[in-house]
Structure 1
């Protein structure tokens, strides 16, 4: 550590989200009429934006295209103050994700990868990392054939003073076993929801899930549990703790997990204890689901006001415990 503030890097997947409100998902071979179409940066962008809004310096070290999706991604990076390492790929575009949001706020995805899914001669070892920085990888990054293995091999050689946060996401079952065997013991933070925990370990019980994983003894395991909050496990011999979330009315759950991960990373980097960091991330995710769109994480002032409000005493108690 050299006294400078930690930065957040991602080397993987930022693509465009095409968001549609739908009355319900179409039946096989059927069709529905969607409304409110929006195009914005998505994927790893949501995590970078959430952390940046908390005041953390964020850097995208992945590939981005030269077509309309790449242009949208760069415009959104500029708006959030997120730096990029590589110039646009000149002959291809970034990928996109179709996000269908139902009336109860649940979302379903179909992704079409673009230039972000390819390695294309990038050398991760050339990144200007320093001790204390944090790297983030998603299940999309780790499941892509060209990216997963190089990311895993690179991470195993980095010093432990560089944090490694993994959120496997909906593609947890598609991450190759060889990649999982490398990244899981190296992760300093592993965050997933109940569905992903069941897919990965066969159980949504946080204590039992921990015993079935190959995490480092002092790695943090966060199991997001929807409106209930999130379970925090700080070690295999320590009982998980449920950190509650504030009650809100969900409008759109798109990006809630990304908001949680981004704010968690920024909170830990700022020196918060794990319990307080999870409480802050829970509150940010709760705020995000009350707003339509993918990148709806609050900024630091909004979140401070929400955490300190009389309507959320349970969160203030969680912060004090942390």
Structure 2
């Protein structure tokens, strides 16, 4: 059994707009609906860990401003608390445009979550944890140096790294420092292909494994998950889902993997459960699940 996870990243305001399809340049379209909620990769991961009863700390800065005020209230309402409160700047927000088929496109306005500071980490009691989650969005920003310094100072922690769509924007120096920490790598098919230049998933995962020397998980949507562990390939099939939107699917997946691994399960078992939980997430609006929805997703693995 593991101790728990430090979840490093962002809590942001998500503005979700439902549209028929992404508009072309110069056009004018109506949204069919709009919802405001707290999102951000770290927040979504933390919410899954909370559902599983995993020990965690949401290490996501809450700043000063109208977005931060909204986020602070919603964190409290949802039972989360971040140890980082800063007067430096406001939190960022993300415009999530969801098309009819459920596919999502993000337009992100960065905020304080991109400016991590070394002194923030001084308050962490690392003894209470044995793993850490890191998102690529925060690594890319100028605060990425502080995050990497912390990880390099605590190599005893198992790193779960989800670079996300910013994987090709992260500097080579930062990427090399991260890969030298031998993280468990979690990314989707597009991210794997664009970052490695390999069209075949098996070859892409081999190259990624060569960089990290650790387990590689590549999500393939309805096809399942390609798992490379100790030189062995596995395809873990996914659960069928009625897709409402895909916001938070990847976050819920890696969050479940972390929770299951912390509870002592092997990677294959962890990925099977993660496929069920993420299938439930894409079947509802937004990136988070109610307790009832979470339990429904978990029962699909039985």
Name the structure 2 match of 1:252.
Answer: 245
Paired position in structure 1 for 2:104: 107
Deviations 1:163-184 (A, max 9, x none): 1111111111111110100111
Aligned to 1:293: 286
Aligned partner (choices 136, 146, 149) of residue 150 of structure 1: 146
User: Counterparts in 2 of 1:231-250, with a 5 A limit?
Assistant: 231-235=226-230, 237-238=231-232, 240-250=233-243
1:26 alignment partner, one of 23, 26, 35: 23
**Matching residue of 2:202:** 207
How many angstroms does 1:142 deviate by? 1.1
Deviation of the 1:295 alpha carbon: 1.8
Q: What 5-or-longer segments of structure 2 have no aligned partner?
A: none
**Residue aligned with 1:307, SS:** coil
Matches within 5 A, 1:57-136: 57-87=55-85, 89-90=86-87, 92-120=89-117, 122-130=119-127, 132-136=129-133
Contact 2:279 2:297 in 1 (8 A): no
Q: Deviations over 1:54-105 (max 9, x none)?
A: 1112212232123232123223322333231122x33632100000000000
Quote the Cα distance in structure 1 between the aligned partners of 2:78 and 2:264. Answer: 23
Contact 2:277-2:294 at 8 Å conserved across structures? no
Residue 278 and residue 297 in structure 1: after superposition, are their counterparts in 2 closer, same or farther (change >3 A)? farther
Question: Which residue number in structure 2 is paired with residue 171 of structure 1?
Answer: 166
> Is the 1:225–1:231 contact (alpha carbons within 8 Å) kept by the matching residues of 2?
yes
Contact 1:47–1:262 under 8 Å retained in 2: yes
Cα contact 1:54–1:300 (8 A) shared by 2 = no
SS at match of 2:252: helix
List alignment gaps of at least 5 residues for structure 1: 309-322
Q: Is this contact kept in 2: 1:125–1:154, CA < 8 A?
A: no
**Residues 57, 36 of structure 1: alpha-carbon distance in 2 compared, 3 angstrom cutoff:** farther
- Correspondence for 2:265: 272
Could you tell me whether the CA contact under 8 Å between 1:12 and 1:147 is conserved in 2? no
2:48 to 39, 47, 50: 50
Q: Deviations over 1:137-184 (max 9, x none)?
A: 11101111x212222232123133x11111111111111110100111
CA displacement 1:268-318 (0-9 Å, x = unmatched): 11111110000000111111111111223766633332212xxxxxxxxxx
Q: How many residue pairs end up in the alignment?
A: 299
1:194 deviates by 0.2
Give RMSD over aligned pairs. 2.0
Change (3 A) 1:63 1:195: same
Q: Distance in 2 between matches of 1:111 and 1:33?
A: 20
Query: Do 2:92 and 2:111's aligned partners in 1 also have CA atoms closer than 8 Å?
Result: yes
